[in-house]
Amino acid sequence: MPHLTIGPVGPRAPGLRERRRLSRHASGKMPRVIRPSPAFGAALLALVAGVACKADGTSAQGGGGATFRIGVVTSLTGSAAAFGQAHKNGYAVALAELNAKGGALGRPIELVYYDDQSKPDQAVQGVAKLVDQDHVPLILGAFSSETTRAMLPAVTAKKVPLIMPTATADNVMETGSPWVFRICAGATGYATSTIDFLQHNGAPKTIALIYENTNFGQAAAKAMAVQAAAAGITVVDDEAYQANSPDYKALLQRVAAKQPEAVYFASYLLDATTLLRQAEQIGLNPTFYTSAGTGFAAAEFPTEKGAGKYAEYTYSASQWTPTAKWAGSQEFDAAFTKLTGSHPAFHAMEAYATLVTAAAAINLGKAETAAGIADAIRKVKLDTPFGPVAFDAKGQNAHPLLVTQVQGGQYKVVWPPEQAEAKPIPTPAWADRK
Partner 1 sequence: MEVMLWSAVQAVLNGILTGSLYALVGMGMALIFGVMRIVNFAHGAFMMLGMYATYVLFDRAHVSPYLGFLVAAAMLFATGYLTYEGLLRRVVERSDFMQILLTLGISLILTDGVQLIFGADYHQINIPLLDVNVRLNQHVSLNAPWLVSFGITVIVATAMFWFVMKSRLGRALRAISQNRYAASLMGIDVMRIQALSFGMGLAAVGVAGGLLLPVFYLYPGAGDQFTLKAFVMVVLGGMGSIGGAAIAGVVLGVVESLTSLYWGNEWAVVVDFLLFLAVLSLRPSGLFGSQRV
Binding site for partner 1 (CB under 8 A): 1-12, 14, 21-22, 25-26, 31, 33-34, 36, 40, 44, 47, 51, 76-79, 81-82, 84-85, 213, 239-242, 244-251, 253-254, 257, 269-270, 273-274, 277-278, 280-283, 304-306, 308
Nearer to partner 1, 211 or 391 (CB): 211
Closest CB 12 distance from partner 1, rounded Å = 7
Closest CB 297 distance from partner 1, rounded Å = 15
Give the list of residues 6+ apart from residue 47 with CB closer than 8 angstroms, or none: none
Q: Could you count the other beta carbons within 10 Å of the beta carbon of residue 247?
A: 9
**Interatomic CA distance for residues 295 and 266, integer angstroms:** 8
Is cis: bond before 388, omega within 30 of 0? no
Closest CB 255 distance from partner 1, rounded Å = 10
Nearer to partner 1, 2 or 417 (CB): 2
**Interatomic CA distance for residues 270 and 244, integer angstroms:** 8
> What is the dihedral sign for C-alpha 200, 219, 407, 287?
negative
Closest CB 305 distance from partner 1, rounded Å = 7
| Cα–Cα nearest to 413, from 398, 423, 400, 426 | 423
Nearer to partner 1, 175 or 253 (CB): 253
Closest CB 5 distance from partner 1, rounded Å = 4
What angle do helix axes 329-340 and 346-365 make, rounded to 10 degrees? 110
Closest CB 36 distance from partner 1, rounded Å = 7
In 3-state terms, what secondary structure has residue 189?
A: helix
Residue 232 — left, alpha, or beta (φ > 0 → left; ψ -120 to 50 → alpha)? left
| Cα–Cα nearest to 235, from 276, 256, 274, 264 | 264
Q: Could you count the other beta carbons within 10 Å of the beta carbon of residue 404?
A: 30
Cβ pair 152, 172 in contact under 8 A: yes
Closest CB 286 distance from partner 1, rounded Å = 17
Nearer to partner 1, 11 or 57 (CB): 11
CA 345 vs CA 96, 215, 293: distances in Å? 19, 21, 10
Closest CB 281 distance from partner 1, rounded Å = 5
Nearer to partner 1, 178 or 308 (CB): 308
Closest CB 82 distance from partner 1, rounded Å = 5
Q: Could you count the other beta carbons within 10 Å of the beta carbon of residue 23?
A: 10
Nearer to partner 1, 21 or 381 (CB): 21
**Interatomic CA distance for residues 162 and 149, integer angstroms:** 11
**Interatomic CA distance for residues 362 and 138, integer angstroms:** 10
Nearer to partner 1, 214 or 396 (CB): 214
Nearer to partner 1, 305 or 343 (CB): 305
Nearer to partner 1, 18 or 392 (CB): 18
